[in-house]
Amino acid sequence: MNLIVTRAGFQTTIQDLGRTGFRQFGVSSGGALDLHALRIANLLTGNDKNAAGLEFTQGNVRLRFDDERIIGWCGGDYEVCVASHSIPRGHSALVLAEDELSISGPRQGWRGWLAVSGGVAVPPVLGSCSTDLRANFGGLDGRALRDGDKLLLGDQSDFARSLIDLLNERHVSSWSSPAEWSSTAKTKPILRIVRGCDWDRFNASTHHALTSETFSVSPDSDRMGVRFNALELHRNDDVDLVSEAVAPGTIQVPPGGRPILLLGDCQTIGGYPKIAHVITIDLSIAAQLRSGETVRFQEISLPEAHRLLFEREQELERFRIGLSLKNK
Amino acid sequence: MEITSVGDSALLVRVRDRFEDAPEETLKKVLDVLRRLENARIPGVIELAPAYTTVAVFFDPVRVINATIEPNHASEGLAQKIREALTRGKHKQSKQPAASAIEIPVCYDPEFALDLDHVADHARMSPNEVVDLHSTAHYLVNCLGFTPGFPYLTGLPKKLTTPRRATPRKEIPAGSVAIGGTQTGIYPQVSPGGWNVIGRTPLRLFDAQKDPPVLLRVSNRVRFRAITREEFEALKS
């Protein structure tokens, strides 16, 4: 029934798909920084897509289970082991009562999402189980997990129970989700962007720099946003802008010229110019960026961004149907 | 009325470029747009969020594409539906800012009022005069944001306009009442911030366990009432 956190690691939080309807009050959408990865992990474990799972950062996590569960995980390049079995990303795997699950430090990437059949059962706050670390609510007492925390797990679905029977012998599924969805850390990644409404406040050489230079990730990045070093982007004007909506993916440029790419826990409004926005499907890659890494931006059109998202959703639906055939 | 995109999952309806010259008029326009969009129930729209001069329309692109005939023009199609919703029907002023003001007790005690002397120096008046002026003015909540439940209030007497601090504080206590430029506001949580702190309220501005989770909402009218340290402690407990 429980999941015991023997080692919480650098920053492990309870997250689901985030909050909707509370931006008007200044509450971030929050949720897993890679919403798609959590959806896949939930699918692999027979959970509802919005079930709460764990987002870990920098690994070095150990968890102990009270009873039999199905787990699945996606994200950076980590070694995840249960007993003597190595559990690759994007697979369904069986854990037995008293089993310990260990997550190594990252070989590549930064974050990972672990789903457990039944989900982590914490009371939803403002419609979500996600932990809001800035305002300290949701998840477990609004904070990151600590060593010794005991998390109640929810009831497993019938599908999860049939997966337990199915994986009785081999422990790790032969099937897996597409690697592109489960393994999101990349070397020198390229993030695709669409233009922001303040694009024209920057001159042509800045546009050129944004889409041709490399940007290095600064250590002061967190769940609110990825900050970049060195390269400075300068505006044509110095008009004081009225604060208006920003969203995960927004690239804003404060007066110093060092751009910030906003992530799930970002504030709801901002007064810095929005030069561009990383497209939704590439936020999976953005969630893996760690200090010192370099990234490039590539401009695409808005219809192209929508087409890519729509195609991924159709592919996800096919994967969901394929997986459901495993149900007895 | 201008409609722009905020990435691939949101559009922004901008009613005006500025608000400071006419905060009340601008807010009325924003609320009118908000009401029309709420009533329109456009398929695929998942959330509406007003700010000073804008209403953000967050949508699920997959649902919008599913609901349109032209999958390559999801944003344009949605923008078109928004324009139709905004021109449909008469301009009703149902969502007028309420007439009665919500009273916020504030203790302007020196222990809480970290920057009261600075604000007084800047305004060339005594700290007591600053308190009198701040606690007799009429305010309007034009926007919520920055942190959950942070109200941005217009209506600050011009004399009290004080630029933000050059170096923001790393930690401002919850309940701090502060002045930033031409506006005043209240920090609901302990957070970093660059506004000039002149007092503290014992009230809780944000409580995630409540529905709605905020004490003040956009369009609320607000007045501050100066209280003593004893009253502060009594109200706090």
Q: Do A210 and A83 belong together in one domain? A: no
Best residue in A20, A22, A24, A137 to probe B by mutation, most B CBs within 10 Å?
Answer: A24
A38 and A169 in one domain? yes
- Whether B140 and B216 map to the same domain: the answer is yes
Residue B92 covered by a domain: no
Question: What CATH number is associated with residue B35?
Answer: 3.30.1360.40
Same domain? B111 vs B61: no
Instruction: Establish if B95 belongs to a structural domain.
Output: no
Query: How many residue pairs from chains A and B have C-beta atoms closer than 8 A?
Result: 150
ipTM rounded to 2 decimals: 0.96
Q: What is the CATH number of the domain that holds B177?
A: 2.40.100.10
Is residue B19 in a domain? yes
User: What is the count of structural domains for chain B?
Assistant: 2
A107 domain residue, yes or no = yes
Q: Are residues B127 and B216 in the same domain?
A: yes
Please give the share of chain A, as a percent, with pLDDT higher than 70: 99
Give the model's confidence band at A133: pLDDT under 50 very low, under 70 low, under 90 confident, else very high: very high
pLDDT on residue B167: 86
Is pLDDT of A240 > 60?
Answer: yes
Could you tell me if residue A315 is inside a domain? no
- Are A123 and A267 within one domain? no
- Report yes or no on A227 lying in a domain: yes
User: What is the domain range of residue B82?
Assistant: 2-87
What rounded mean pLDDT belongs to chain B?
93
Closest CA to B44 of B19, B71, B17: B71
Instruction: Please report, for the domain that includes residue A202, its CATH number.
Output: 2.40.100.10
pTM of the model as a whole: 0.95
Tens digit of pLDDT for each residue in B58-104?
Answer: 999 999 998 877 777 889 999 999 999 999 866 665 555 567 899 99
Residues B11 and B46 in one domain: yes
Are B37 and B114 found together in one domain? no
pLDDT digits (tens, 9 = 90+) for A93-107: 999 999 999 999 999
**Closest C-alpha among A13, A7, A8 to residue A223:** A13
Select the residue of A24, A245, A309 nearest B144 (Cβ to Cβ).
A24
For residues B51 and B145, give the distance between their C-alpha atoms in angstroms, rounded to a whole number. Answer: 8
Q: What residues of A are in contact with residue B61 (Cβ under 8 Å)? A: 280, 306, 309-310
CB contact under 8 A, A244 and B10: no
Final residue of a structural domain among A182, A214, A240: A182
Q: Which of A23, A25, A309 sits opposite B8 (nearest CB)?
A: A309
Q: Across residues A292-296, what is the average pLDDT?
A: 96
Distance, C-alpha B9 to centroid of its chain: 23
Domain count of chain A?
2
Same domain, A44 and A153: yes
Looking at the structure, tell me whether residues A249 and A175 fall in a common domain.
no
Domain boundary among B63, B87, B111: B87
**What per-residue confidence (pLDDT) applies to A221?**
93
What is the rounded CA–CA span in Å between residue B237 and residue B214?
19
> In A, what residues contact B, Cβ < 8 A?
20-28, 125-126, 132, 134-138, 142, 194, 196-197, 242-247, 249-250, 267-269, 274, 277-280, 302-303, 305-307, 309-310, 313
Q: Is the pLDDT of residue A290 over 80?
A: yes
Q: Residue A200 and residue A217: Cα distance in Å, rounded?
A: 25
**Is A235 a domain residue?**
yes
Q: Are residues A48 and A111 in the same domain?
A: yes
Residue of A nearest to B50 (CA): A24
- Pairing label, strands A80-82, A85-86: antiparallel
Cβ neighbours of A196 in B, within 8 Å: 6-7
In the predicted structure, residue A230 carries a pLDDT above the cut 80? no
Q: Identify whether residues A71 and A171 lie together within a single domain.
A: yes
Q: Is pLDDT above 80 for A190?
A: yes
Of A120-134, A135-149, A202-216, B81-95, the one with minimum mean pLDDT is B81-95
CA distance B100 to B139: 11
Spell out which residues of chain A touch residue B56, defining contact as CB-CB under 8 Å: 23, 244-245, 247
CB < 8 Å to A261, chain B: none
Listed as ranges, residues in chain B with pLDDT below 70 are: 89-98
B209 and B106 together in one domain: yes
Same domain assignment for residues A33 and A167: yes
CB nearest B8 (choices: A197, A242, A302): A302
Question: Do A30 and A168 fall into the same domain?
Answer: yes
Contact B61 A280 (CB under 8 A): yes
- Mean pLDDT of chain A, nearest integer: 95
Q: Which of B51, B75, B212 sits opposite A25 (nearest CB)?
A: B212
8 Å CB contact of B17 and A242: yes
Let me know if residue A320 belongs to a domain. no
Question: CA B103, CA B71: separation in Å to the nearest integer?
Answer: 50
Q: Do B49 and A194 touch (CB under 8 A)?
A: no
Q: Residue A226: give the domain boundaries.
A: 190-309
